[in-house]
Amino acid sequence: MKKTQLLRDFWYRLSSNQRFQIRRLYYLPVDLKDKLLGKTHKYVPSRGQIYTGSPASASEYIKQGMLHLEHLKTYVDLQPDDSVLDIGSGVGRSAIALSTYLNNNGSYNGFDVVKQGVDWCNNGLGKDFLNFNFKYVPIYNDLYNTSDL
C-alpha cells in the first residue's frame, strides 16, 4: 500500500471533530499571518475553518466563489431576482459571490450538515443580507457529521 493511501486511511479513521481540530492547528501560523497583514475578509473563514474545498486565501476563496457564480449565470441562466437553494452550503464560498449578484427580490437558502459552517454563515452573510438564510440539517455524513443524532 502506498504511503499516501496509508495517510489517507489514517486521516479518515479520525473523527470529524479530530480532523477539524488538526486542520485548525495546521493552518494556525498562516491564518495568524493573514490576520496580521490584513489579508482577511469579513465573510471568508480562516483556512483552518474551511472544512471542504481548498484552504484558500481570502482573495482566492472569493475568486473561486465568483467562478461558481459565473457558471450559474452561464449554464442555468441565473438572474438577480432568482431564488437559489444550495445543498451543502459549507462556509459560504458560493454564497459570498451570490450576495454580490442577487437583488432584494432574489433569495438564497443554503443548508449543510456541519453546524459550525452554518453558524459562520449566519453570523456574517446571514446578518448582513436578510434574503440569505442558512440552516443546519443534522444528517449523518461519514466525512463531516458522524455524531449521534
Pick the CATH number of 3-136 from 1.10.150, 3.40.50, 3.90.1010, 3.30.70: 3.40.50
Size of the chain in residues:
149
Quickly state the pLDDT bin for 1 (edges 50, 70, 90): low
Give yes or no for residue 69 having a pLDDT over 60. Answer: yes
In this prediction, residue 138 carries a pLDDT of 87
C-beta neighbour count of 83 within 10 angstroms: 11
Is-contact 53 64, C-beta < 8 A? yes
For residue 149, is pLDDT > 50? no
Number of neighbours of residue 38 by Cβ within 10 angstroms:
7
Specify the DSSP class assigned to residue 142: T
The one-character DSSP state at 80 is: T
Over residues 76-124, the pLDDT tens digits come to: 999 999 999 999 999 999 999 999 999 999 999 999 988 999 999 999 9
Model confidence band, residue 35 (pLDDT cutoffs 50, 70, 90): very high
Mean pLDDT in residue range 27-47: 95
Q: Are 101 and 129 in contact (CB under 8 A)?
A: no
CB 89 within 8 Å of CB 117: yes
Neighbour-count burial of 132, counting CB atoms closer than 10 A to its CB (0-12 exposed, 13-18 middle, 19+ buried) = buried
Q: What is the mean pLDDT of the chain?
A: 90
d(CA 60, CA 78): 23
Q: Measured between alpha carbons, how far is 97 from 53 in angstroms, rounded to an integer?
A: 16
Confidence (pLDDT) at 141: 67
Domain ranges of the chain: 3-136
Taking the C-alpha atoms of residue 134 and residue 117, their distance in angstroms, rounded to an integer, is 9
For 10-14, 51-55, 64-68, 121-125, which range has the lowest pLDDT when averaged over its residues?
Answer: 51-55
Give per-residue pLDDT as tens, 50-59.
877 777 899 9
> In the prediction, which pLDDT does 36 show?
96
